[in-house]
Amino acid sequence: MSEDIDINSKKRNFDQEAAKWDQVPGRVKVAQDIAQSMIRELTLTPDMDVLDFGCGTGLLTFALQPFVRSITGVDSSQGMLDVFRTKIKEQNLNNIKASYLDLDNGGALSGSYHLIVSSMTLHHVKEIGPLLTQFHRVIYSSGSLCIADLDSDDGQFHGNNDGVFHDGFNREDLSRMFMSAGFRGMRVVQAAQIEKPVGDGKSRFFTIFLMIGRKE
Ligand SMILES: C[S@@+](CC[C@H](N)C(=O)[O-])C[C@H]1O[C@@H](n2cnc3c(N)ncnc32)[C@H](O)[C@@H]1O
């Protein structure tokens, strides 16, 4: 079996979840907290072109849209993109668009951006190094990469670990990967926390970091 087929068989089917994705209040709250943290930590300006990698239904994209010139969401789930595009039409926005991209099956990022953001997607991507290298390639000099994802969670965050290739991230390890891809001046803050049941009637707090690196 080839590596590609292996990855695809382990992927989570986000298409099936798309229609109800925005109906989970805890999920929407986390996306809002992440967006607020990005708005605080990044200097967003009306001349910026932004890419949201793994945009899903656009919870983060739509929150950042008023602060920048354009924002492009990319995702490998057609179902998520359908919901995203319906929202663009409903809100009659012309500085926001959504494109299909599956990096695991030969897709490559295109265009040039002042900023790439991504929320809760990195742990669904098996090979992080090549992804960060692609990000670096399409970011303008002096542009930034801003990733929001789970701190190491011992595999407890997701009830179903299908399509979860990383049990969260160790911040120092990820910072070293940013550095290897060419990013510098990494900063990390906590963006959000979520309390979730983990079995036996117990619950646990999970934290989400924001890591920002600059392309020099
Ligand atoms: C947990 S959801 C997060 C969605 C959104 N960023 C949010 O915060 O609501 C992860 C998203 O990443 C997308 N995704 C997973 N692997 C991907 C890949 N290799 N390329 C592009 N998108 C991917 C999924 O389709 C899904 O929409």
Question: pLDDT grade, residue 159 (50/70/90)?
Answer: confident
Instruction: Centre a 10 Å sphere on the Cβ of residue 88 and count the other Cβ atoms it contains.
Output: 19
CB-ligand 1 contact for 60 (6 Å cutoff): yes
Q: What is the pLDDT of residue 27?
A: 94
- Asked whether the predicted pLDDT for residue 171 surpasses 70, the reply is yes
Residue 18 CA, closest ligand 1 atom number: 27
Pocket of ligand 1 contains residue 61 by CB under 6 Å: no
Give 38-54 pLDDT, tens digit per residue: 999 999 999 999 999 99
Candidate from 41-45, 82-86, 124-128, 146-150 with smallest mean pLDDT: 124-128
Share of the chain above pLDDT 70, in %: 95
User: pLDDT digits over 73-117, tens only?
Assistant: 999 999 999 999 999 999 999 999 999 999 878 889 999 999 999
Query: What is the pLDDT at residue 8?
Result: 66
CA of 121 relative to ligand 1 center, distance in Å? 5
The predicted pLDDT at position 76 comes to 95
pLDDT for 60 beyond 60: yes
How many beta carbons lie within 10 A of that of residue 93, not counting itself? 16
14-30 mean pLDDT: 94
- Kindly give the distance from the C-alpha atom of residue 125 to the centroid of ligand 1, in angstroms, as a whole number: 9
Q: Is the pLDDT of residue 4 over 50?
A: no
Q: Where are the domains of the chain?
A: 3-215
CATH topology of domain 3-215: Rossmann fold (3.40.50)
**Res 2: pLDDT:** 39
Q: Which of 7-21, 145-159, 163-177 has the lowest mean pLDDT?
A: 7-21
Average pLDDT of the chain to the nearest whole number? 93
Pocket test for ligand 1, best of 14, 50, 206 (most atoms within 8 A of CB): 14
Q: How far is ligand 1, taken at its centre, from the CA of residue 99, in Å? A: 12
Question: Which residue, judged by its Cα, is nearest atom 12 of ligand 1?
Answer: 54
* Test site for ligand 1: of 15, 53, 110, 121, most ligand atoms within 8 A of the Cβ: 121
pLDDT computed for residue 44 by the predictor: 98
- By alpha-carbon position, which residue is closest to atom 13 of ligand 1? 54
Give residue 126 CA to ligand 1 midpoint distance, Å: 12
Q: For residue 137, what pLDDT is reported?
A: 98
Instruction: Flag whether pLDDT at 162 surpasses 90.
Output: no
**pLDDT category of residue 138 using cuts at 50, 70 and 90:** very high
- In the reported structure, the alpha carbon of residue 40 is separated from the centroid of ligand 1 by a whole-number distance in angstroms of 23
